[in-house]
Structure 1
Amino acid sequence: MEKITMSDLIKKQPLITRMMGCIWLMTAFGLWATAGFAWILDYYNITATHQHTAPFFLATVLLLGFGFRLRTKVEEINTLAICVIYFSIISLFAIISASLFPVTFVTLLFGICGAMFLISTLLALCFNINMASRWYALLLICVGWGISFVTNFTLLNSLYLWLISFCFVLLWSFIALRKINVLKLYVRNLYSAAPWTLKHCVVAGALMLYFDFVCFFWSIVMMIFELLNIRRWLQRL
């Protein structure tokens, strides 16, 4: 019996579906890479603590600089440069995550969501689910919650981690749903302008999706810090 690999399944799909599938797989790699980098950085103590905060502030400035550059010049950057930038943003965000939260917390959440994108893409390929539609976002939620349940139940995690992991799955599913139409339009326009840039479209799409998450995540962190500052100010009154 002939074996069917993931690459064979992807090649049988229409072009836009093939590109979106590759973007989701690249996103899964980015999430797992974030978890791995965060663990390595914590192991070697390359995080922002009360002794040294330079890595934290440097990572923040570089991350914002990369982001603004990408917003305006992503079409003009070649594929190799986009891969380097994607790798750099993952590394910088890993520094920020490892500095703000326990490394076990970071590896759990990003590991779950990475598996969510991988398994959802495999299921979509096997059952012919359109990966450029809202059904894929619904599939992400179902698969992500299933992985969260099994992982937290196996590790006997606290209720707090259960809730956070479920919310993290919802966050990534919402971002994917919100960006599906934008990614389809971007990929279609970019590919029609330069049909040989399939890899460029995939990496650029995954990078745009990841940075959209970074911006959303950073706004949530800033909002929490503001609420904590307001609470401290009220306690002093």
Structure 2
Amino acid sequence: MGPLAAIRIRQIAFIPATMLSLTYWYTALGLWCTAGIIWLTLYTHFLITHVQPVVVLWISALLLGLGYGAVTCLSRFGTVVATLIYIAIITLTGVSLAYLFSGGATIFVIVGIMFSLNALFIFYLNISSGLFRPLIFMAVSGIIAAIVVNSLVASSTLVWIVSMLTVLVWTLITALEKSTLHGYARMLYHSEFSSLSRCALFGALTLYLGIINAVVTLCRYIILMILEILLSFRP
């Protein structure tokens, strides 16, 4: 093995701090844009008065499902296409949550703050390797952000609980998607057509859609559990 090959293997053994920091910034930006769309949908009343909620929810569920399926072939997309997919998913998520849970804007702001703090933490301290230290900082910073933001806006008890759970779930998703982010790092070093911004955008899409997959999976288990309970009462 030559020295250049050894250097390349060492480079892809961990995610570059610059790429991981930019991934978290893109994720935070997507979360804040989602919060803005929720707020606009709630306070302009345009969609609420002109569109039936059932129609919006069905279309959003369909497109969000298609959007999550697109993650498996993200590497085939260019930066422009991936950006358009990100914008579409952000918009659909914001509109859907405006009908489902008005406190979603506060929660997305909190998680966005969590990712932005971690982007700064990783960039200035140049920490991209390891698992526990960055994730512990992510969970702690998210909980602190939840306490501060919920206290400032006088959130309800439900928003407090959901925001804390969302912080912990998104931290867990980030840990589970570590191998996917490593794949984008390898793409950055191996493909001449991959740029830092493109790989970071793919990473942000993966992290953003991770929570959607978690919610869909949870709903599926709940539905199956309810069906099993109902079937158990059949003679």
TM-score range (shorter-chain normalised) is 0.7 to 0.9
Residue number in structure 2 paired with 1:65: 66
Tell me whether 1:131 sits opposite 2:128 in the alignment: yes
Residue number in structure 2 paired with 1:54: 55
Residue number in structure 1 paired with 2:8: none
Compute the displacement of 1:161 (Å): 2.6
Secondary structure of residue in 2 paired with 1:53: helix
CA–CA separation in structure 1 for the residues paired with 2:203 and 2:63: 20
Give the AA of the match of 1:79: T
Tell me whether 1:116 sits opposite 2:119 in the alignment: no
Pairing of 1:1-20 with structure 2 (within 5 A): 16-20=16-20
Compute the displacement of 1:81 (Å): 0.7
Q: Percent identity?
A: 24
CA–CA separation in structure 1 for the residues paired with 2:70 and 2:56: 21
Residue number in structure 2 paired with 1:4: none
CA–CA separation in structure 2 for the residues paired with 1:132 and 1:40: 39
CA–CA separation in structure 2 for the residues paired with 1:178 and 1:52: 33
TM-score by length of structure 2 reads 0.80
Tell me whether 1:219 sits opposite 2:217 in the alignment: yes
Instruction: Rate the CA distance shift 1:233–1:67 in 2: closer, same or farther, 3 A.
Output: same
Compute the displacement of 1:192 (Å): 1.1
TM-score by length of structure 1 reads 0.80
Q: Is the 8 A contact 1:113 1:144 kept in 2?
A: yes
Structure 1: stretches of 5+ with no match in the other structure: 1-13
Give the AA of the match of 2:128: M
CA–CA separation in structure 1 for the residues paired with 2:185 and 2:49: 37
Instruction: Rate the CA distance shift 1:15–1:109 in 2: closer, same or farther, 3 A.
Output: closer
Q: Is the 8 A contact 1:37 1:94 kept in 2?
A: yes
**Which string of whole-angstrom CA distances, capped at 9 and with x for unpartnered residues, describes residues 162-202 of structure 1?**
22211111011111111123202232134412265222111
Q: Is the 8 A contact 2:142 2:167 kept in 1?
A: yes
Instruction: Rate the CA distance shift 1:234–1:99 in 2: closer, same or farther, 3 A.
Output: farther
Compute the displacement of 1:136 (Å): 1.3
Provide the alpha-carbon RMSD of the alignment: 3.1
Residue number in structure 2 paired with 1:100: 100
Structure 2: stretches of 5+ with no match in the other structure: 1-13
CA–CA separation in structure 1 for the residues paired with 2:50 and 2:168: 30
